Structure 1
Amino acid sequence: MATILHLETATTNCSVSIAKDGEMLVLKENNAANYSHSEQLHIFIKEVLEEASLSFSDLDAVAISKGPGSYTGLRIGVSSAKGLCFSLEIPLISVPTLQSMAYQVDVKPGELVIPVLDARRMEVYSCVYDASYKEVRETRAEIIEEASFAEYVSDSKVYVIGSGAEKIRGALGHPNFIFDESLVPSAKDMIRIAFEKYQSNEFEDVAYFEPYYLKDFVLQQKKKKN
């Protein structure tokens, strides 16, 4: 028996789920226009436990969305997950954000799914997965051009999903690209990956684990008024 708490904070969607043996019990999430993780994350954690009639002592592990994504969002999620793991003395599981997004699409054999998250300026974070949700091409921060992903387009559909899909829609002209910018990372899609990792004892070192930022954080300073 494995009861796992899942935290997804890589984007504006503040999302928390709890599952037992890979089956979701409760999901709480809010995809606000602005980041609300610092206000809502711990409230959602408390609410999913209460609705599942569980307490912190019932948890066997905490799973965190590891990135890439928002620097601040990832820091908040990872700090919360590590705090719970330390205090409860339970393992930490990390779930690649783009891989969990890929599970939102029913991909048939021969088809591919490319989750893309909006990054700074003209860049996106992207990764390519096959119908088994295995990584075909590693995660990158890149500027999308007309030739991007050309080697993955043939006679089958290629699903381009996530907040970066709208940004790059105009650059990818092949008719087999199918875009859906409405899909966002969610804690419900972390469950399958986290449970498989729990079963195989694939845990992180709580003391040293860091989010997968992919890009260095750049502090945006306000201009001084004259």
Structure 2
Amino acid sequence: MYLRNNFTIFLLAVTLLMFCWMGTALCDDDDEGLGEASGGVMQGWQSDFNLDNRIFADQGENSYFILKPGFQIVLADEDDRVTLTVMDETREVGNIMTRVVEEREEEDGELVEISRNFFAIDADNGDVFYFGEEVDIYKKGKVVKHEGAWLAYEGDALPGLIMPGSPKIGMKYYQEIAPGKALDRGEVISLTETFKTPAGTFDNCLKTKETSGLNPLEKEYKRYAPGIGQIQDEDLLLVKYGYIVEE
């Protein structure tokens, strides 16, 4: 009887512990899920960048991001093509003068999207911030929607960090902070990649993993070469880069 009672108590204790553990795990998962589903900023990812104490410039560069008028990067695979061009154009966003970077996306030779992205660089440490984008999505040559557009300081939207001036492995930061619209996040996972593209082989490349606070299941990998910038976006590889020469 004594042994049976003690064994019963033991089973009850183990069961109670299991329920407590499961409850904690479920609560943790639910907390994260609710945060993601509601389109809010999650803990563990930097979202406060002390913007009020920074001096911004509308052009400049760091090791992995060139923000100077005329610089262009072309990424492509057999079917698709993305052209990124730093324009000789600025846009004021929330009292900050930003530089316009045009992104043109083509699929099977057909234009599918043009976005005008707004960036500014910290003049002291080279951090590049993303202030939003205007988006035109095309179908058969006509604009059909503007999905993904957002602008810092409209509603709850704030600038995000698109490229640190001094990236370090393990850095995790929001690239876009527009709850309910755009919550892309970047994580630095390597600074020593060697990567081959049609435009050349590059050493000491930065590799990032990007995810979205709006869809935690989505992820993609990008690489950036020193002195050039982006050289890979999933299957799209660098095929051309440099300053546009006016004829």
**TM-score (norm. length: structure 2):** 0.25
Q: Which has the higher contact order (CA 8 A, sep 6+)?
A: 1
How does the TM-score come out when normalised to structure 1?
0.26
> Considering only CA atoms, is the larger Rg found in Structure 1 or Structure 2?
2
- Whichever structure has more strand as a proportion of its residues is 2
Structure with bigger helix share is 1
